[in-house]
């Protein structure tokens, strides 16, 4: 078997993140939106799909960001076509962010996709494999789905190409690339022991930023989220939480509010709910409002938000 191709894209080293180029421009494209494929976390009792988002332009699927359990059903509900996708982007490899990946790779066999599909994700460590090893262990000839290995070897009609992005939040480096006519940026964020990334996707001055799961101890999010048209922040612990483990992994609403204020985000969308953050809307709002006074929404599965206005424009339910 031919070993599958690893592509290491150039990463721009920026000693001082403040010096990096994220310029404030206004969104001039009304046809870019984001679909919430899943607004939940790992629980299976919350009546929400696990985490996933779909960025579309003119109703066409362009980028999937995370793809947890149930996200594939909502991708189907919104009429997403695998052949339209530019890339899959992953924040990290916890189950609730990646569990529907085999489903979409298998389903692609029945789609019209012919061009290679890049899969971007974090570097690994002693706790969890890197993106390339993660993909190999699933779809390689010795992986758990060897019957899908053609997608790595190039013997299928297209090739799945894993691309690793440095997720070190202690020495954060802004990753930048261009995919199609979209500008993509990512930066390492602190999610306990798991290497994790936050993502920014931008076109025509319209920007979507997704925090991923993080406690933001490295203060890397406020840089990436600068003047984001929509900032999706993961709301997995309530303001009143005394759970030290949870707080080690996630940020409280007050931190989300502070980031949103400091980054001057245009619209804040809370997602990745868990039982402990359901029915805490008043407490959450007041914690956020002590920092940030802009538009604020609580995501539900299948919600569709337009980047230009930040407004909900539909649902795939």
Alpha carbon dihedral 186, 273, 88, 205, in 10-degree steps, equals -50
Site string for Zn ion, 58-97 (x = CB under 5 A): --------------------------------------x-
Min CB(41)–Zn ion separation in Å: 5
For Zn ion, the closer of residues 41 and 310 by Cβ is 41
Q: List 176's β-bridge partners, or say none.
A: 185
Cβ pair 229, 208 in contact under 8 A:
yes
Min CB(51)–Zn ion separation in Å: 6
Min CB(185)–Zn ion separation in Å: 21
Decide: is 33 part of the binding site for Zn ion (CB under 5 A): no
Min CB(142)–Zn ion separation in Å: 28
For Zn ion, the closer of residues 57 and 96 by Cβ is 96
Helix residue ranges per DSSP H, 80-181: 95-98, 101-108, 131-139, 150-153
Among 136, 204, 213, 229, binds Zn ion (CB under 5 A): 213
Task: Using alpha carbons, select from 60, 6, 7 the residue that is nearest to residue 33.
Answer: 60
Residue 219 CB contacts under 8 Å (≥ 6 apart), including other chains = none
Min CB(250)–Zn ion separation in Å: 8
For Zn ion, the closer of residues 98 and 307 by Cβ is 98
For Zn ion, the closer of residues 39 and 306 by Cβ is 39
Q: Which residue in this structure is represented by tokens 């988002």?
A: 53
Task: Using alpha carbons, select from 134, 159, 138, 157 the residue that is nearest to residue 147.
Answer: 138
Rounded distance, CA 317 to CA 10, Å? 40
For Zn ion, the closer of residues 204 and 213 by Cβ is 213
Q: Footprint of Zn ion on this chain (CB under 5 A)?
A: 41, 96, 213
């Amino acid at each position: 078997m031919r070993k599958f191709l690893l592509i290491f894209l150039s990463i721009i080293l920026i000693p001082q993140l403040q010096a990096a180029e994220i310029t404030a421009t206004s969104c001039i494209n009304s046809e870019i939106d984001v679909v919430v494929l899943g607004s939940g976390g790992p629980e299976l009792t919350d009546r929400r799909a696990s985490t996933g988002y779909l960025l579309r332009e003119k109703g066409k699927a362009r980028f999937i960001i995370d793809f947890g359990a149930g996200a594939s059903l909502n991708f189907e509900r919104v009429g997403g076509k695998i052949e339209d996708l530019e890339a899959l982007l992953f924040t990290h490899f916890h189950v609730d962010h990646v569990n529907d990946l085999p489903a979409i790779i298998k389903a692609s066999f029945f789609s019209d996709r012919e061009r290679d599909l890049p899969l971007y994700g974090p570097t690994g460590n002693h706790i969890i494999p890197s993106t390339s090893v993660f993909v190999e262990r699933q779809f390689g000839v010795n992986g758990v789905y060897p019957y899908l290995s053609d997608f790595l070897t190039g013997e299928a009609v297209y090739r799945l190409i894993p691309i690793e992005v440095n997720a070190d939040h202690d020495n954060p480096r802004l990753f930048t690339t261009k995919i199609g006519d979209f500008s993509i940026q990512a930066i390492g964020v602190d999610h306990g022991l798991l290497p994790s990334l936050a993502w920014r996707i931008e076109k025509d001055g319209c920007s979507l930023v997704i925090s991923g799961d993080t406690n933001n101890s490295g203060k890397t999010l406020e840089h990436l989220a600068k003047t984001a048209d929509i900032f999706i922040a993961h709301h997995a612990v309530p303001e009143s939480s005394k759970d030290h483990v949870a707080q080690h992994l996630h940020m409280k609403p007050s931190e989300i509010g502070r980031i949103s204020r400091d980054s001057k985000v245009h619209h804040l969308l809370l997602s990745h709910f868990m039982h402990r953050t359901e029915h805490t809307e008043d407490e959450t709002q007041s914690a956020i409002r002590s920092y940030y006074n802009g538009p604020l929404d609580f995501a539900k599965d299948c919600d569709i938000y337009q980047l230009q206005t930040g407004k909900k424009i539909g649902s795939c339910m």
